[in-house]
Amino acid sequence: METSAERDGDGYRLSGTKTWITNAPIADVALVWAKDRSTEGDPVRGFLVETDREGVETPAIEGKLSMRVSATGEVSLDDAFVPESAVLPDVAGMKGPLSCLTQARFGIVWGAVGAARDCFEVAREYAGEREQFGQPVAGFQLQQEKLAEMATKVTTGRLLADRLATLKERGELRPQQVSMGKRHNVRMAREVARTAREMLGGNGITTDYSPMRHLANIETVYTYEGTHDIHTLILGEDLTGIAAFE
Ligand SMILES: Cc1cc2nc3c(=O)[nH]c(=O)nc-3n(C[C@H](O)[C@H](O)[C@H](O)COP(=O)(O)OP(=O)(O)OC[C@H]3O[C@@H](n4cnc5c(N)ncnc54)[C@H](O)[C@@H]3O)c2cc1C
């Protein structure tokens, strides 16, 4: 983390840039995590920063082929002043940002199941209606094998999400378990979306059907909230006690 906060009178001055921020171009307020250079050990603190403050820029990223309805941009802070009241009061250190990420990733575990399920349902319905060689394509064994695989994957992802929810309700959920869920379910949804798209033939590449849209959006989900690779390394560290990030 390179964004820093320096004490200045009755507030702080923030400097640093973070790109790929969802809603940055339209947000009125940004929650910024920065290293507090004025305190021993440079603890990470959270700051609520109005985006119309002097020194704050939020340019948009153009040309996305995934998550097209969601605005994405950069948050750039150049000596931007915020008052003491902008500091989140009860959290210091990485616990703040990491606990946010664990919550968001837990949501993704479920969102991936929803996307995959929609793809499966659309493909099943389509295969039941589309006729080739005198019968619905759902009657061919090759298509049934795809449906069987998809149904099994969606069910497996759903069960994993359910299990994580049970642990969460008991207060026993570990971030590494959320990494396993995010990693598994997003890859699962990516595979199911691709198979569903394939089962729709040419129609599958149009906006008339949802699988291609899910497929494009899942590419982002595969990368954000911790890339698939990084979650692999989180699990690797948890399983071996050896960090392989660098
Ligand atoms: C549409 C969209 C919205 C986003 N919204 C937000 C947001 O709101 N807030 C936010 O903070 N971020 C957001 N992100 C950013 C996202 O979290 C990052 O893109 C992601 O963390 C990957 O970082 P990067 O793009 O710099 O890839 P890089 O770090 O450059 O990675 C490139 C490739 O190298 C791999 N890699 C990197 N390091 C290692 C390593 N140590 N070992 C093995 N492989 C490695 C990665 O897995 C990846 O495949 C968003 C991204 C997108 C696309």
pLDDT digits (tens, 9 = 90+) for 22-61: 999 999 999 999 999 999 999 999 999 999 999 999 999 9
Ligand 1 contacts CB of residue 58 (under 6 A): no
pLDDT tens, position by position, 205-245: 999 999 999 999 999 999 999 999 999 999 999 999 999 99
Atom of ligand 1 at shortest range from CA of 230: 47
Question: What is each CA distance from 243 to 29, 77, 231, 238, in whole angstroms?
Answer: 35, 32, 12, 8
Our answer to whether residue 225 is catalytic in this structure is: yes
Atom of ligand 1 at shortest range from CA of 229: 47
What average pLDDT does the segment 109-131 reach?
A: 98
pLDDT at site 90:
85
Q: What is the dihedral of CA 96, 16, 26, 52, to 10 degrees?
A: 110
Ligand 1 contacts CB of residue 72 (under 6 A): yes
Q: Regarding the domain delimited by 4-86, which CATH topology (the fold level of the hierarchy) does it fall under?
A: Butyryl-CoA Dehydrogenase, subunit A; domain 2 (2.40.110)
pLDDT at site 96:
85
Listed in sequence order, the residues at least 6 apart from 213 whose beta carbon sits closer than 8 Å to its beta carbon are 207
pLDDT at site 120:
98
Range(s) for CATH 2.40.110.10 in the chain?
4-86
Query: Over pLDDT 70: what percentage of the chain?
Result: 100
pLDDT at site 100:
87
Q: How confident is the model at residue 95 (pLDDT cuts 50, 70, 90)?
A: confident
70 Cα–ligand 1 center, Å = 17
What average pLDDT does the segment 2-25 reach?
A: 97
Task: Give the chain's mean pLDDT.
Answer: 97
What average pLDDT does the segment 110-125 reach?
A: 98
Catalytic residue, from 57, 84, 225, 237: name it. 225
Range(s) for CATH 1.20.140.10 in the chain?
95-240
pLDDT tens, position by position, 144-201: 999 999 999 999 999 999 999 999 999 999 999 999 999 999 999 999 999 999 999 9
Percent of residues in the chain assigned helix, strand, coil, to nearest 5:
50, 20, 25
Ligand 1 contacts CB of residue 22 (under 6 A): yes
Ligand 1 contacts CB of residue 67 (under 6 A): yes
Q: Is the pTM of this model over 0.85?
A: yes
For a mutational test of ligand 1's pocket, the pick from 69, 223, 228, i.e. the residue with the most ligand atoms closer than 8 A to its C-beta, is 223
pLDDT at site 99:
85
Degrees (nearest 5) of the Cα angle 182, 188, 194? 135
Distance of CA 147 to the CA centre of its chain: 26
Q: Regarding the domain delimited by 95-240, which CATH topology (the fold level of the hierarchy) does it fall under?
A: Butyryl-CoA Dehydrogenase, subunit A; domain 3 (1.20.140)
Ligand 1 contacts CB of residue 230 (under 6 A): yes
Under a CB-based contact definition with an 8 Å cutoff, are residues 109 and 178 in contact?
Answer: yes
